[in-house]
Amino acid sequence: MEKMPQHQKKEHEKNFWENSVVYQVYPWTFNEDEAREPQLGHGSIAGITEKLDYLKKDVGVDALWLSPFYPSPMKDGGYDVIDMTAVHEELGTLADFEALVTEAHERDMKIMIDLMPNHTSNEHSWFQESRSSKDNSKADWYIWHDGVVDADGNRRPPNNWASVFSLPQLEARKRGELDVAPGDMTPPISAWTWDDERQQYYLHSFANFQPDLNWSNPDVRAAIKDIMRTWLDRGVDGFRIDAVNYIGKNMDFTDEDTDTAYVEGVDNPYDQLRRYNSCGYPWTFYRHVREMTDVLYEDKYKDRDTRIILEAYMGEHELKKLNEIAPGKASTFNFGALDLSWQAPLRWIQARAYYNSLPEGGVANQVNGNHDKPRLASRLGDEAARAAGLHNILLPGMTFIYNGEELGLHNAKIPKRYIKDPNGLRDPERTPMLWDGHAKHHGFSRTDRHLYLPLNQADTHLDVAAQRGDPDSSLALYKSAIELKHELTRPRYVSLIAKTAEGEHHDDVMAYGVESDDKRFTVMTNFASREVTAFVPNYAARAVGSVALSSVAAGGNSIDDSLDLKHGVRLGANEAIVIRH
Ligand code: NOJ
């Protein structure tokens, strides 16, 4: 790999992001601004601005990551873009966006936006031109192929690469729509679709309406980097880069091997294949990522507190390599914990390995959810979700919070007529924020039309108005935990071992220390739904401390109580606590 740019912050300088809270806003269901007439029943950019004080003062977030707000046919929640430099007219205007950036900056908050370098909508003008002939100016902006002819003389896609969005095949098979012999595996959807206009196949790693851009074409790379510059010039502070591993492909189109771990009927048929060629292909992938991170080091931008966070579901080795590309400016999402079950030993191993894997100057991050995962409280239950919230917030690095997580919101039941997700899966975690029960649609919108997605009626008692001012609320817990996080500058992760009275490793408790030069906290989390006692015998210097925060509202450890880690700490069911030393 080439040498790392030399523009990284000096050791003593505080990096804005190093211990920050980044709040993911899903623009379509966050808030529709009061002023908009007529009200459209979905969020707006001005609606986000309207809630900046909530985010700053009631939650304590440092930065927002906005999921796509670009013009889009909205077949994949906006991840099917037709112009990545503009604002969807139903969400507002560029002026609204610029006002949001200005207002955020006035509050010392930063704005990160979603960048989709791998694919566009098939309605994008680039694709329209590309498909129109084999010799137009964008002919090679997408990945086209004649296909192959099989032994029976039939035209077939050039290889076995599959679409990530192959899950609906399982249901299609159940409905009898697929011609598959009993015992055979359900075929994934091909990543190639025939285009009648161009008389060739085009590649789409996701849905067929999301053609992949051709990253081996320098013009494509230049166009994406120009888009980054456009937004940086508009004041944006960083990018969450979508599905980034897919930009690295083997352009020889070698078939993928089969993955024997695939479980028929349970797994996405896409998982029948290993993925070495269709994404994350090492000879192209890291180079392409590096081109994007380099933009942040260009003279015009290098002194700004910018950041890139890469979305890549990959193995540890690959993630480590990605984190080494530009540690001062870019890191991958740490999905390792998100994808594990809520068990103390698993989380302990993952956290230790993760922090150890980071390069010098790298910024860690923690994720408890996003718009692609069932909501935290639905996955873990309410009490464990509170514990997981506290546990993740105090871990050193950037803590990502998906909108509504701070309220303890749950997945909603979505009537069929509302379903928007092409997988039919992810709408339940995307329903509107709940602001105020005294207002129409809980303050989300005043529309008389249908909402973009329905309110989760089962959660209406959890709205912001109900939680604000309630010291026992989930919102209050998140705010207090974030305040504690912000007490630490440049914290280090200290892996601790929680033990039982018999001196065995504790099955249910994970303990970790967070230390900065002048402050120390210990966090102890009980993953079990019953009371336990745990000891941290090897943390002698910090044995005694006082409770700074508990995730359990009533009946947990009381604030300011003195504890001795060597003599045992009692933790209530699903209780996480912060101990101040
Ligand atoms: C990842 C995004 O998070 C997801 O919502 C989207 O469907 C895929 N990328 C495809 O763009």
Asked whether the predicted pLDDT for residue 541 surpasses 70, the reply is no
Q: Distance between CA atoms of 445 and 407, rounded to whole angstroms?
A: 19
Question: Does 263 score more than 50 pLDDT?
Answer: yes
Whether 10 has a pLDDT exceeding 60, the answer reads no
Ligand 1 atom at minimum distance from 370 CA: 3
Q: Pick the atom of ligand 1 nearest to 67's CA.
A: 3
Picking from 394, 397, 420, 438, the residue whose alpha carbon sits closest to that of residue 551 is: 394
State residue 1's pLDDT score. 44
Nearest CA to ligand 1 atom 6: 79
| Percent of the chain residues past pLDDT 90, beyond the cut | 93
The token pair that represents 87 in the structure block: 């604002």
Say which of 80, 256, 271, 311 is annotated catalytic. 311
Q: Let me know if 311 is a catalytic residue.
A: yes
* Site to substitute for ligand 1 among 72, 163, 242, most atoms within 8 A of C-beta: 242
pLDDT tens for 520-540 read: 999 999 999 999 999 998 776
Higher-confidence residue of 6 and 77: namely: 77
| CB 542 within 8 Å of CB 519 | no
Write the residue with the smallest CA distance to atom 2 of ligand 1.
242
pLDDT of 15 reads 85
Average pLDDT over residues 204-229: 98
Residues paired with 241 in a beta bridge: 115, 310
Report the sign of the C-alpha dihedral through residues 70, 73, 78, 81, in that order: negative
- The rounded Å distance from CA 537 to ligand 1 centre is 44
C-alpha distances (whole Å) from 249 to each of 244, 246, 316, 435 are 11, 7, 19, 44
Instruction: From the CA of 80, give the closest atom in ligand 1.
Output: 11
Decide whether any atom of ligand 1 lies within 6 Å of the 79 Cβ. Answer: yes
372 lines ligand 1 (CB under 6 A): yes
pLDDT at 7: 47
Stretch 29-54: mean pLDDT: 98
Q: How far is the CA of 399 from the centre of ligand 1 (A)?
A: 20
Q: Is the CB of 237 under 6 A from ligand 1?
A: no
Q: Is the pLDDT of residue 9 over 90?
A: no
Quickly state the pLDDT bin for 14 (edges 50, 70, 90): low
Q: What is the pTM for the complete model shown? A: 0.96
Residues 459-497: tens digit of each pLDDT: 999 999 999 999 999 999 999 999 999 999 999 999 999
Cα 293 to the center of its chain, rounded Å: 18
pLDDT, one tens digit per residue, over 550-560 is: 999 988 899 98
pLDDT mean across residues, the chain = 95
Instruction: Give the residue among 33, 39, 56 at the shortest CA–CA distance from 103.
Output: 56
Q: How far is the CA of 556 from the centre of ligand 1 (A)?
A: 39
7 and 28 Cβ atoms separated by less than 8 Å: no
For the chain, percent of residues with pLDDT exceeding 70? 97
Active site residue 252: no
Decide: residue 26, CB within 10 A, 0-12 exposed, 13-18 middle, 19+ buried.
buried
Pairing label, strands 492-495, 365-367:
unpaired
Residue 132 tokens, joined? 């129109």
| Cβ count within 10 A of residue 448 | 10
My answer on whether omega of the bond before 422 falls inside 30° of 0, hence cis, is no
Mean pLDDT of the 2-22 span? 66
pLDDT tens profile 174-201: 999 999 999 999 999 999 999 999 999 9
